[in-house]
Every structure is written in structure tokens, then in C-alpha cells.
Structure 1
């Protein structure tokens, strides 16, 4: 993460009294809030232009991650030194934007999944120049590369010291799915300025209190919707 982005996120966490997990890199959550017995996770974004950059490779994992996240978007002045205002977005607020991006990548995602599921043992045999197994750990690393860690290779072994043709076929399918997923991503989709502008603005005098009011209203609204459809 760029130093400037990291500093802005810390400024936002301080402003809204948010916390960060002990192992942030692993969970990918920018900040969280404990409120009314709930843990509410946040995505923190900032901009000087109005539109907001998101992630380099947007795909299914981000769709899954973002569906329950709350967002704070800080709009800075032109030189990025002062926050002009902060917008709050609930999962419902962000759903139309996320759904549009999901629909954009959906054909490529489905295509990749179908291709991966069609991998057969004949493909494995062809890649290994006619060898039908068993396959060694070095063979597995040749296929999976840095996609797996040491423990993954050990856990996948299904014959003494190695892998059967069936297991290697499964691994080849996983590798295919991984490569296809990378190809079906969208490069840094921006949240448009017009979208950001219509999001609720958090109170500048009492930002932490204002945020908690919006979060509580979101859960009250969600509960009311569930009751109405029960």
C-alpha cells in the first residue's frame, strides 16, 4: 500500500474511532466497528477527484468480500492534505454499483469455471509427455507454482510420496480455474463521482457519532425489511 493511502486510512480510522484487526493483511479488512453486539467491517477509500479507485483486479473474490461491507469515502482537497467531507455507504447503498461490475465480469467467470471443470486426465498425460503417474511433489509444483503453499502440497498427496493421475487432474483443474479467474477480472473499476455524490454525508462536527447513527439505521431498516417479508 502506498504511504499516502496508508496515512489517509489511519486518519479516517482516527476520525471515526475505528479499529484494525491484529492481522490485517490476512483478512483484508481496512477497519471495523464494534456496535450493539455486532462487528461491522469497513472499506476505507479516499479521493481528490471525486471518483474512487478500488482494486487492481476486481473479480469474484471482491464481489464476495464487498457484499456485507460498509464503506467510508473521504473526499480530500486537490493536494490531498485536508478532508472536505466523508460519505457513508451501507451494503445496500453499494449493491447497485457492485452488481453492475459483477454483471460485467459474469460471462468470463462462468466461461472460466466451465473450462476448468472440463479438464480431463488426458490433458494431464499430454502435459507430462505420456506419463500416467504417480507424480512427484516437483511435478505438482511445476503445475501449481506459487498458487499453493508447502502444506497444500502435503495435504493433497494421495499415494505414498506423491499424487495419482486422478489427484493431478484435480490439481490441473484448480490451476485452470485460477488462471481463468485472473483473466476474467476488471482492472481497477472506479466508483463514479456521480455515485459518490449521492451517498449520505457524515456530520463533520461529530463524525464518529454520525457514523454510528447511520450504521444503526441500516440495521434497523434491514430488520424492518426482514419482518415485512417474513
Structure 2
């Protein structure tokens, strides 16, 4: 997140009287709305255009993160300093867009689940050569920086090294990583057309948001 994005996000939190989560993380909940004793989790986005960018490397973890989330969009002037209007997106209203992106990467995600398990020792030997014992350097050459050194050591099943079977599991992890990486979308946009016909929040921001969230929660009961 850029400094400018962080400033806009903080402004939205204050304007709509939301709360920061106790232990915020980059991949977690952006803000929380307390309503009738319920904690409603929000994803916050801002834009200086008519469409909205999301994340650089969109993958299946974002699908899991966003399903059930409420969204708040702030649209700013071209200079990014003046808030023009906001949109609220309920989980129900955002579900079609999320489902569309999920469908786009679904086959790749299934391939990432199934292909690694099809690898055999003969495939391992073709790639890294046949050995009875593989070293830490052999493993690092294969999977590079995708494990921390502690993980490399934890996977050792021989004294300071790996059996062919354990090296095969590392190859499977490598295969899974490469396919999942290729399955990711580069910053999928929520198009301007997605916001057509939706209510623009331009005043009484905090109160109006609570009314809209209450309606959305009632609609799901």
C-alpha cells in the first residue's frame, strides 16, 4: 500500500467512524464497523478514476478473504486530495464480481492442486539427477527462496540432508508454487459499470453507511 493510499484509507475510517482491527495485517481486515453488538469486517478501496484497482497478485487467497466481506469505496478527485463520493458494497452485491474472478482462475487452481501429486521419483531424477542423498544446496537450488532456512532444515529426513522421497516432496512444492504464481491475475479492476445505479454516499456518511449495512444484514437473515 502506498503512502497516499494509506492516507485515503485512514480518512475513510475517520469519516465513516470505523475502527482499525486490533492486529491489522496487509492481508487481513482493513476496518471494522460495530453495529448492534456485531463486528462487521470491511475491505477499503480508493480511486481517482471511475474504476477501482484491487491487488497486484490476485489469487485464491483473495477469494477466501473477500467472500463475506463488506466493501467501502472512496472516489477522489484526479489529484487524490478531494473525496467526491463513496459507494458501499454488501457481500451479496460484490459476490458476482468475486465469482467471476474465481471462475477465471479456477482451472489453474485445480491444476496446482492435482499436478504436483502426479510427479514421481523418475521425474525428480530427470530434473535434479539421481542420488541416494541430497544436500541443503541441492534443495535450495530447486526451490530457491520459497522456504526459509528453518523450513529447509525442518524438512531434512537424513543427517543434514534429504532422501529422494523428501526431495520429491520439495519438487512437488516447487511445482505447486509455479502453477499458483502463473494463475495469479495482475491487479484485476472493478469496472465503472459495476457501480452504475448504486447509491452515492455524499453526506451523513457514518449514519448512511450503518443504515445500508443494517439493510444488507437483514437481507441475509
Match of 1:88 in 2: 88
Q: Distance between the aligned counterparts of 2:33 and 2:130, measured in 1?
A: 56
Alpha-carbon deviation of 1:26? 5.2
Pairing 1:51-130 to 2, within 5 Å after superposition:
51-130=51-130
Cα 1:38–1:157 change in 2 (3 A) is farther
Aligned residue in 1 for 2:24: 24
**1:116-155 matches, cutoff 5 A:** 116-133=116-133, 135-155=134-154
Q: Does the 8 A contact of 2:33 with 2:40 survive in 1?
A: yes
The gaps in structure 2 that reach 5 residues or longer are none
Give the CA RMSD over aligned residues: 2.1
Q: Give the structure-1-normalised TM-score.
A: 0.85
Size of the alignment, in residue pairs?
Answer: 221
Task: List runs of 5+ in structure 1 lacking aligned partners.
Answer: 224-230
In the aligned structure 1, how far is the partner of 2:220 from the partner of 2:156?
A: 46
SS of the aligned residue for 1:24 comes to coil
Which residue of the partner structure matches residue 3 of structure 2? 3
Change (3 A) 1:94 1:163: same
Q: 1:146/1:107 Cα in 2 relative to 1: closer, same or farther (>3 Å)?
A: same
Deviates more, 1:165-174 or 1:152-161: 152-161
* Whole-angstrom distance in 1 between the partners of 2:41 and 2:146: 27
- Is the contact made by 1:89 and 1:200 (CA closer than 8 Å) also made in structure 2? no
